[in-house]
Amino acid sequence: MSERLTYLMARWLDGTASKEERKELWGLSLEAANQEQLQREVEAVWGEESEVEAVWREESDAEGMSAGKIDELFEKIGRDQQPFGRRLISRRRLLWSAAAAVIIFVIGTLIWRTRPAVEQPVSPQVVQHKPKEIMPGGNKAVLTLSDGKEIVLDSAADGTLTKQGSVDIVKLGDGSLTYEGKDHVSALNTLSTPYGGMYRLRLPDGTGVWLNAASSITYPTAFTGAKREVLVKGEAYFEVAKDASKPFIVDVNGHSTIEVLGTDFNVNAYENEDIISTTLLEGVVKVTAGKSGDKGHQATLKPGQQMRIDTGARQICAVSYVDTDKIVAWKNGAFNFEGVPLERAMRQLARWYNLQIAYEQPVRAIQFGGTLKRNLPLSDVLHFLGGAGLHYRLEDNNRLVILP
């Protein structure tokens, strides 16, 4: 069992776990890698069938799954395991009890989800007809060369893919693309990720780029002019190589321009979002709403700040400090749903799991919380969100219907 999981369990039993720590504990309990170890712990203490597990089954049968119900049951288990009078239970017993509490949640959930149809409780979160499991996205992208030739990178072999002039385009073993060599003539290349894909790229100047799903970047094979300019659609994270003589300029789908010398920042500019956001992690950037040179709609960001541009009005609507870890969670392999409204969260899922999202009106306003890894099957993510109040129906052809 991981030290983090043990720590969170101990915090919960001691009554010192914060709301965020409890959410993290529930999230870890959903991960398949933890379940076998948690199962062994509970069997070592109570055997395969425990009284508290029976309580969990009774509760889940009666009322279904909810974050509040989970919390209430956890608190009940915690009270049941506290010292009686002056008799103290050993620290190891407390940790076992915490492990048991979490595995009860997991076992109860699995029983609840896989019970034969005749015994299933009726709940909008339960799918009577279960479509095939939808797996998460991965390293998928298409490279389009200046002559229009396309190379599907996820199926291409590692090594040199082709040449553009005297520059070698190389696919590395870690699933990233890089440009090796120098040239005095440049050609435009475009790297595009589909729904369910992401990719890493090292530009000819050494700048690192992470592309999120359903995104693209167009760039030259050699930066030969007085500036380094690229065009981005969707979402990308940049670690810009420093070169004081050549500013790095990002054209954000024609809606804004970002100018830097050397810095780390994230830009989110999906066409189905009404806001373009630029978030600075390190260095300094100047962001312009519209084309470069429109000084009436400019702002210079400091580390930790985010600038939001209204794509309809093409003007700055906010500059504020934000949690940068939340903004770049996607780059680090996670969903951060803290405070994310329902429709925005669903758009994130749609892009990563290649889903069609539909709504049966009226849909309740839900704001989620917590963090989940992006390598989980869709069913695990939906089950987690279901505990926060999401009602849904998953249909064939990757169609997710959000219910009232």
Is the separation of the CB atoms in 203 and 238 below 8 Å? no
pLDDT at 312: 75
Q: What is the pLDDT of residues 342-378, one digit of tens each?
A: 999 999 999 999 999 999 988 888 888 889 999 999 9
pLDDT-derived band at 298 (thresholds 50, 70, 90) equals confident
Least confident of 50-59, 229-238, 241-250, 395-404: 50-59
Is pLDDT above 50 for 50?
no
Highest-confidence range of 114-118, 233-237, 244-248, by mean pLDDT? 233-237
pLDDT at 86 over 50: no
Helix axis angle for 19-29 and 67-80, nearest 10°, is: 100
Per-residue pLDDT tens digits for 164-196: 888 999 999 999 999 999 888 889 999 999 999
Output the CA torsion 220→222→226→230 (10° steps).
Answer: 20
User: What pLDDT is recorded for position 63?
Assistant: 41
The Cα angle at residue 248 between residues 280 and 138, in degrees rounded to 5? 65
Percent of the chain with pLDDT strictly greater than 90: 52
Instruction: Set out the domains of the chain in order of their start, with CATH numbers.
Output: 3-119 (no CATH), 138-327 (2.60.120.1440), 334-402 (3.55.50.30)
Average pLDDT, the chain: 79
Q: How far apart are CA 220 and CA 203, in angstroms?
A: 9
The better pLDDT of the pair 65, 295 is held by 295
Between 330 and 106, the higher pLDDT residue: 330
CB burial string 29-68: b at 16+ within 10 A, e below: bbbeebbeebbebbeeebeeebebbebbbebbeeebbebe
Please say if the pLDDT value at position 91 is more than 80.
no
Q: What is the mean pLDDT of residues 49-62?
A: 45
pLDDT computed for residue 82 by the predictor: 41
Average pLDDT of the segment spanning 153-170? 94
Calculate the dihedral angle through the C-alpha atoms of 47, 66, 375, 212, rounding to the nearest 10 degrees: -170
- DSSP per residue over 282-334, as a string? ES-EEEEESSTT-GGGEEEE-TTEEEEEETTTTEEEEEEE--HHHHTTTTTTE
pTM here? 0.70
What is the rounded average pLDDT of the residues 45-56?
A: 45
Model pLDDT, residue 254: 84
CB atoms within 10 A of CB 185: 12
> Which strand (E) or helix (H) includes residue 335?
strand 334-336
For the cut 80, the answer to whether the pLDDT of residue 21 exceeds it is no
Residues 290-315 have a mean pLDDT of: 80
